[in-house]
Homo-oligomer: A and B are copies of this chain.
Amino acid sequence: MAEYQQKLDRVFHALSDPTRRAVIQQLGSGPASVSALADPHKMAFQSFSQHLKVLEDSGLVISEKEGRVRTCKIAGDALVNAQEWIAAQRRRWNEQFDLLDIYLSELQEKDVDDE
């Protein structure tokens, strides 16, 4: 339970930064090395590296080192979890709308009866 919540904390936190979202987007077109990912971003390589660490800690990205190159790719699960949490909230919220619709329809029917 608490573990699932902490995972969501980390995933949403990871997604709350534009640099990190850009990395997810970059990795959408295939795996890449840390240098290749860092290249478009105007910041010290070490700063960028910390962003990657946040992404890895969140489970959104996984990486493997071969020689001196670390290659990163997206790990789907964390993204799925985040999307499903949002989807669940939207379902509940839409149900409320439906209930309201039903209630309003019923009210209207009564109005019609009263006429």
Chain A interface residues (CB < 8 Å from chain B): 5, 8-10, 12-13, 15-18, 21, 24-25, 27-30, 74, 76, 79-80, 82-83, 85-87, 89-90, 92-93, 95-96
List residues of chain B with CB within 8 A of the CB of A13: 12-13, 16
| Interface secondary structure of A, over-half rule | helix
Among B9, B10, B86, B90, contact of A86 (Cβ-Cβ < 8 Å): B86
Copies in the assembly, this chain: 2
Judging by beta carbons under 8 Å apart, are B25 and A16 in contact?
A: no
**Residue of A12, A30, A80 with highest tally of chain B CB at under 10 A:** A12
The smallest C-beta distance from A11 to any residue of chain B, in angstroms, reads 8
A-B contact pairs, 12 of them (CB 8 A): A8-B16, A8-B18, A10-B16, A21-B85, A25-B89, A25-B92, A28-B92, A28-B95, A29-B92, A30-B96, A79-B86, A79-B89
